[in-house]
């Protein structure tokens, strides 16, 4: 049975660890999903901010009026290479005409009609006075012609109104986005925005790389930090529910194991109780059986002395049975008030002597009794219960000792009653068992030995002591012995 219980413990621990692992894996997946969801949502905001910034750059160009003019020429051609593969090539020529600069006008104002006419003549006479930018690139890798045309427009926008970190940062802040911005020159042309997902769950970050002038291989890298604390707060109810559910299931599993262990222990106690009860009943019954056989012998009954010895043995066996059944009866009471007391005054010294004489000492042990109770020490208590108390303590001292043991019984008067002390030099009681030896059916380390017992003796002693309104305590050292002290009010 113990092997099965141990196996059950191991399987339960494995089940708990497996459940916690699955729960942690599920929560991790949920956290990753929340991070990805935040990335997607924020990535869309970044793209919208870039579009908004492009429109703002276009509006800025328009406000320059006729003082600065940009003339662009877009050209896209398609051809086939030697193996029949389609080749798309785009060319952009952008002319920038700065009227105020060409006319030498310092103030910021619109040009007059005469100035506009003179500017046109100057441009027509010499194209060298015009800032021209030309870009030609193989756009075969562009997903579509529309994206290629859009790249040429982006080149024109970059010439007309250059892309700046400050400009895009202001737009992002309008959308409550704080990001690290870098303008880079790429090794190859990219046509569409790309997102690099987070690689860490502790300080997660993601990057959005967007080309703003594809023909010049210029791109902006926007790196955003994902607020993990905000993600965890949003998952608060999920986390709380998972923790509560985990604790509840673990508690139920442990409670089930505890119940099984308790039932196993009770079954073991029941078997031990039955075995011990049979052993305890067998001795007086065997004595009675032997005495009854002697009574049937007429020759033995002719000897008066022998007859008196037989009747004395019968009386003692019956007293033992009566005391044993009284113990079983009293131990079942739920409170001490239910135990009947017949209080009387008697000589404790004489009672201790009678108890010592009634003790059956095993033939394998050498027991020395010391009755140190002062002569004529009067006490008021239930005589039969006190006999049971002393008998249990003395029998325990004999049972849990080596081959030689000395048992000393003493008594002293106190200010509020008397104190009876039963001391031995037996095996002693472990410190872990001291606070539990008075519990019913508890035997401590004795349960692992072959010493018979039900774990009721000391519980019965405490019950009878409490019924008298007294107290019982114990001092013990393993290998030295034990000392039980019983305080009874008088």
The pTM of the full predicted model, rounded to 2 decimals, is 0.49
Residues in CB range of 174: below 8 A, 6 or more apart: 49
Question: pLDDT tens, 419-453?
Answer: 999 999 988 888 888 888 888 777 666 555 556 56
State the Cα–Cα distance between residues 31 and 401, nearest whole angstrom.
64
**63 has pLDDT over 50:** no
> What's the mean pLDDT in 371-389?
90
Residue 269 is predicted with a pLDDT of 67
Question: pLDDT tens, 472-485?
Answer: 999 998 888 999 99
Question: pLDDT tens, 175-214?
Answer: 888 899 999 998 888 888 999 988 888 889 999 999 999 8
Question: pLDDT tens, 280-309?
Answer: 677 778 777 877 777 777 776 777 777 777
Complete DSSP assignment for 33-86: HHHHHHHHHHHHHHHHHHHHHHHHHHHHHHTTGGGEEEEEEEEEEEEE-TTS-E
Residue 32 is predicted with a pLDDT of 87
Give CA separation, 147 vs 87, 192, 279, 490, in Å.
Answer: 15, 9, 100, 108
Give CA separation, 38 vs 45, 208, 209, 285, in Å.
Answer: 11, 13, 17, 85
Instruction: Give the residue among 381, 388, 389, 391 at the shortest CA–CA distance from 342.
Output: 381
Could you give the 3-state DSSP secondary structure of residue 141? coil
State the Cα–Cα distance between residues 341 and 397, nearest whole angstrom.
26
Residue 381 is predicted with a pLDDT of 92
Give me the count of residues in the chain. 490
Specify burial of residue 475 (Cβ count, 10 A radius: 0-12, 13-18, 19+): middle
Residue 474 is predicted with a pLDDT of 92
Counting Cα atoms < 13 Å in the Cβ hemisphere of 112 gives: 5
**337 has pLDDT over 80:** no
Band of the pLDDT at 116, cuts 50, 70, 90? low
Question: pLDDT tens, 226-266?
Answer: 888 888 887 778 888 888 888 888 888 888 888 887 877 77
> What's the mean pLDDT in 98-115?
62
- Taking the CA atoms of 381, 387, 392 and 393 in sequence, report the sign of the dihedral they define: positive
Residue 71 is predicted with a pLDDT of 67
Which residue do the tokens 């049971």 mark? 388
State the Cα–Cα distance between residues 189 and 211, nearest whole angstrom.
8
Could you give the 3-state DSSP secondary structure of residue 303? coil
> What's the mean pLDDT in 87-97?
79
The full set of domains in the chain, from first to last, is 65-228 (no CATH), 341-489 (3.30.565.10)
Sheet with strand 205-213: strands edge to edge: 179-185, 218-225, 205-213, 194-196
Strands 205-213 and 343-347, by their bridges, are unpaired
Residue 108 is predicted with a pLDDT of 62
Question: pLDDT tens, 124-157?
Answer: 544 444 556 788 888 888 888 889 898 888 888 8
Residues in CB range of 455: below 8 A, 6 or more apart: 269, 439, 440, 441, 442, 443, 447
Per-chain mean pLDDT for the chain: 81
Which residue do the tokens 């009866």 mark? 329
**109 has pLDDT over 80:** no
Could you give the 3-state DSSP secondary structure of residue 197? coil
Residue 126 is predicted with a pLDDT of 46
Could you give the 3-state DSSP secondary structure of residue 405? strand
Asked if 156 and 135 count as a contact pair (C-beta separation under 8 A), the reply is no
Asked if 90 and 137 count as a contact pair (C-beta separation under 8 A), the reply is yes
Residue 11 is predicted with a pLDDT of 81
Residue 111 is predicted with a pLDDT of 61
């Amino acid at each position: 049975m113990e092997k099965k219980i141990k196996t059950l413990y191991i399987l339960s621990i494995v089940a708990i660890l497996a459940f916690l692992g699955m729960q942690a894996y599920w929560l991790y997946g949920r956290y990753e999903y929340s991070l990805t969801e935040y990335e997607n949502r924020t990535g869309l905001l970044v793209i919208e901010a870039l579009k908004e910034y492009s429109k703002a750059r276009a509006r800025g160009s328009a406000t320059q009026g006729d003082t600065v003019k940009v003339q662009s020429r877009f050209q896209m051609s398609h051809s086939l290479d030697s193996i029949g593969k389609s080749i798309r090539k785009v060319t952009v020529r952008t002319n920038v005409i700065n009227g105020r600069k060409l006319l030498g006008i310092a103030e910021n104002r619109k040009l007059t009609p005469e100035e506009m006419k003179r500017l046109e003549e100057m441009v027509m006479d010499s194209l060298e006075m015009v800032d021209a930018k030309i870009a030609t690139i193989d756009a075969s890798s562009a997903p579509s012609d529309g994206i290629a045309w859009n790249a040429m427009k982006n080149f024109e926008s970059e010439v007309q109104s250059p892309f700046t970190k400050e400009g895009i940062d202001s737009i992002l802040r309008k959308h409550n986005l704080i990001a690290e911005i870098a303008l880079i020159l790429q090794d190859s042309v990219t046509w569409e925005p790309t997102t690099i997902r987070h690689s860490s769950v502790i300080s997660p970050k993601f990057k959005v790389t967007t080309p703003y002038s594809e023909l010049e291989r210029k791109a902006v890298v926007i790196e955003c930090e994902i607020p993990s604390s905000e993600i965890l707060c949003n998952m608060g109810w999920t986390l709380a529910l998972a923790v509560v559910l985990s604790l509840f299931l673990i508690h139920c599993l442990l409670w089930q194991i505890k119940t099984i262990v308790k039932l196993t222990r009770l079954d073991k106690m029941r078997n031990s109780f039955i075995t011990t009860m049979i052993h305890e009943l067998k001795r007086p019954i065997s004595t009675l059986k032997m005495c009854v056989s002697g009574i049937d012998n007429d020759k033995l009954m002719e000897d008066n002395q022998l007859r008196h010895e037989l009747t004395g043995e019968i009386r003692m066996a019956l007293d033992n049975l009566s005391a044993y059944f009284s113990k079983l009866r009293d131990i079942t009471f739920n409170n001490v008030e239910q135990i009947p007391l017949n209080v009387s005054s008697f000589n404790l010294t004489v009672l201790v002597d009678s108890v010592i004489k009634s003790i059956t000492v095993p033939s394998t042990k050498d027991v020395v009794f010391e009755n140190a109770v002062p002569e004529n020490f009067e006490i008021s208590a239930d005589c039969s219960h006190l006999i049971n108390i002393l008998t249990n303590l003395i029998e325990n001292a004999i049972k849990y000792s080596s081959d030689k043991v000395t048992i000393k019984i003493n008594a002293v008067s106190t200010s509020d009653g008397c104190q009876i002390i039963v001391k031995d030099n037996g095996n002693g009681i472990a410190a872990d068992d001291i606070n539990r030896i008075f519990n019913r059916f508890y035997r401590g380390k004795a349960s692992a030995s072959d010493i018979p017992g039900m774990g009721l003796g000391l519980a019965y002693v405490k019950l009878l002591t409490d019924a008298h309104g007294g107290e019982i305590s114990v001092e013990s050292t393993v290998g030295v012995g034990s000392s039980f002290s019983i305080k009874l009010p008088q």
